[in-house]
Structure 1
Amino acid sequence: MNRVKRMQPVLRLAELEADKAGRALTMLQQRIQAEETKLSQLYAYQQDYRNQMQLSGQAGMTVERLRLFDGFHQQLDRAISHQRDLINHMQQDQERVREHWRQLDIRHKSLEKMIERLKRDADVQQARNEQRNHDEFSRRRASDSGWS
């Protein structure tokens, strides 16, 4: 049982590390979802803006107004491109964080199994010692009563 007690802090530390990595993964997933929502909003805004430009174009517009629409449309395209790049980078980070969490989780589970095995081995050894002590006690008792 001594080895089991010595391993408990190691197990606890492994558990804390795996939990911390799991929380980091969850937070990153939530950030990605938020950024994907922003991207969807940008697409929707871009589509609304195109529809508005089309309606204005049918009613007639000046060249200056057309340039303004086009300039803003290009800004939207850049914002959408930037948002997609951000999401791609975050997804790559997510894969790295996920792999790190997997490794820590495997380590934690391996330590749990090892400690369980150590406990079983210690229990078996203790049972053997108790049986040996019981046998020794019985042998001595039998010897003592035989000499009387």
Structure 2
Amino acid sequence: MNRVKRMQPVLRLAGLEADKAGRALAMMQQRVQAEENKLSQLYAYQQEYRNQMQVSGQAGMTVDRLRLFDGFHQQLDRAINHQRELIEHMQKDQERVREHWRKLDIRHKSLEKMLERLQRDADVQTARNEQRNHDEFARRRSSDSGWS
């Protein structure tokens, strides 16, 4: 029983570490999702801008205006590429955080199982001791009653 009590704080700390890593993973997933939403908005804006350029081009536009459209379109392309790189970097970080959480979760579950086994062993030992004490008490009682 003493080993069980000594291991409980270790189990509790392992659980806290796994929970903390799980929260970090959830936060990372939310951040990646937010950045992916930004990328979707950039794509939508780029498509909207292309449509505007096409409508303006059909109505006729100056070379300066066409250069302006093209320059801004290139800026959008760079922003999209930057956003993709950012998401890729964040996804790699997310995978590292996920792996860290997995290791801590496995450790916590292993400690739980070990503690359960220790508790079962302690229960069996307690039951044996109680049976031995009961048998000893019964033996003494029968031998004491024989002298009366």
Whether TM exceeds 0.5 here: the answer is yes
Percent identity reads 88
Quote the offset at 1:10 in angstroms. 0.3
Q: TM-score, normalised by structure 2?
A: 0.98
4+ residue runs over 3 A deviation: none
Match of 2:104 in 1: 104
Q: Aligned residue pairs: how many?
A: 148
State the AA in 1 paired with 2:45: Y
Quote the offset at 1:82 in angstroms. 0.4
Quote the offset at 1:147 in angstroms. 1.3
Structure 2 unmatched ranges of 5 or more: none
Quote the offset at 1:86 in angstroms. 0.6
> For residues 77-132 of structure 1, what are the alpha-carbon distances to aligned partners after superposition, in whole Å with 9 as ceiling and x for unaligned?
00000000011011111111111111000000000000000000000000000011
Match of 1:25 in 2: 25
State the AA in 2 paired with 1:131: Q
RMSD after superposition: 0.6
Distance in 2 between residues matched to 1:21 and 1:145, nearest whole Å:
65
Structure 1 unmatched ranges of 5 or more: none
Distance in 1 between residues matched to 2:140 and 2:44, nearest whole Å:
91
- 1:1-148 to 2 correspondence within 5 Å? 1-148=1-148
Distance in 2 between residues matched to 1:137 and 1:98, nearest whole Å:
57
